[in-house]
Amino acid sequence: MGYLDNSIVTVDAILTNKGRQLLAQGNFNITQFALADDEIDYTLYNPTHPSGSSYYGEAIENMPLLEAFPQETQMMKYKLVTLPRGTARLPILDLGYTNIIIKQGASLAITPQTLNYLGGNTYESSGYTATISDVRLFNTFEGVGINTPQAQALNQTTTLGTSVSKTVVGTTINLRATTINTLFGTNTQLTATLTVEGRDSGARLTIPVTVTKIS
């Protein structure tokens, strides 16, 4: 990791780990793009700058940016979105939980809702992408409600290994906490994060997840 030379405007493009995986499988096919403003703190924008509007973004426009990370979960966190001019409120996600505490072996269904979207509060037609940072915490982690081939292909992907993330797509995310005691070791709980993103709106929310041991 290092800072990019900002004396000239250049673009540093790399493949993500997922991109390398798909390239090796012969399934590397870029079809769309999104823009993001990761690293930008808009509180640095100063619309009352005494020198005028040319200086409002002074604290942002010359900042050095970090190089790209190959981990796809660490990039494109905050997407830029296209909304009608005059939008006063941006879409935000409501999962019904600000954090999840679930007992070992218990089940939970999460149905995300997008607020301030398409004139009100609604469920996105393309569904939601949910990523659990450590898939070992759940015996079941699945998305239901979206039946496109692409979504089904993603949901059927088997994630192997230890302490790796898993991503599913659906309008509802079903969870069932692990029943394996050995995962806890001497601890009484396991923690991870759940990141949900609206596939249409780009709205994103990350909440902590805790699985508590019962025996």
Partner 1 sequence: MASFNRLDPSDFVISSDAISATLWSTQTPQLSTFFTSSTQEVGSSGDYYLSVYQTGSTLSNAAVQFDIAYGNALGSGSLVYNSIINGLSPTATIFGQYQDLVLGDENTNFTFGAITSSEFYAISFERARYKNALLLGSLTLQIKGPIAASGSVTLTDNSGYISTVTFTEAGRVFQLVSGSAGTANTSRQASGYTTDSGSYGWLLPDIGTILLNPKALSAPTSSGGIGFVYSGSATGSSVPNISPMATLYQAISGSANFQINSQETITSDYIFIRARSSEFNYSENPSFISGSTGEVLYNSFINSPQTYITTIGLYNDTNELLAVAKLSRPLPKNFTSEALIRIKLDF
59 near partner 1 (CB under 8 A): no
10 near partner 1 (CB under 8 A): yes
Q: CB of 47: closest distance to partner 1 in angstroms?
A: 5
Q: CB of 145: closest distance to partner 1 in angstroms?
A: 16
Q: How far is CA 28 from the centre of its chain?
A: 21
Pairing assessment for the beta strands 100-103 and 204-212 based on DSSP bridges: parallel
Of 76, 170, 161, the closest CA to residue 130 belongs to 170
Q: Which is nearer to partner 1, 139 or 193 (CB)?
A: 193
63 near partner 1 (CB under 8 A): yes
Binding mask 15-54 toward partner 1 (x if CB under 8 A, else -) reads xx-xx--x----xxxxxxxxxxxxxxxxx-x-x-------
Cα three-residue angle 40-48-42, rounded to 5 degrees: 10
Q: Nearest 5°: phi and psi at 32?
A: -150, 165
- Start-to-end Cα distance in the chain: 43
Q: CB of 137: closest distance to partner 1 in angstroms?
A: 23
Window 71 to 130, contacts with partner 1 (CB under 8 A): 72, 75-76, 78-83, 85-92, 115-118, 129
Binding mask 172-191 toward partner 1 (x if CB under 8 A, else -) reads --------------------
- Pick from 58, 66, 96, 99 the residue near partner 1 by CB under 8 A: 66
Window 120 to 139, contacts with partner 1 (CB under 8 A): 129
d(CA 196, CA 213): 25
Looking at this protein, which amino acid is placed at residue 57? G
Of 212, 175, 215, the closest CA to residue 194 belongs to 175
Q: How far is CA 87 from the centre of its chain?
A: 23
Quick one: tokens of 24?
């090796």
Mark the segment that binds partner 1 (CB under 8 A) among 104-112, 130-138, 151-159, 174-182: 151-159
5 near partner 1 (CB under 8 A): yes
Q: CB of 103: closest distance to partner 1 in angstroms?
A: 28
With contacts defined by CB under 8 A, how many residues of the chain interact with partner 1?
A: 80
d(CA 190, CA 116): 34
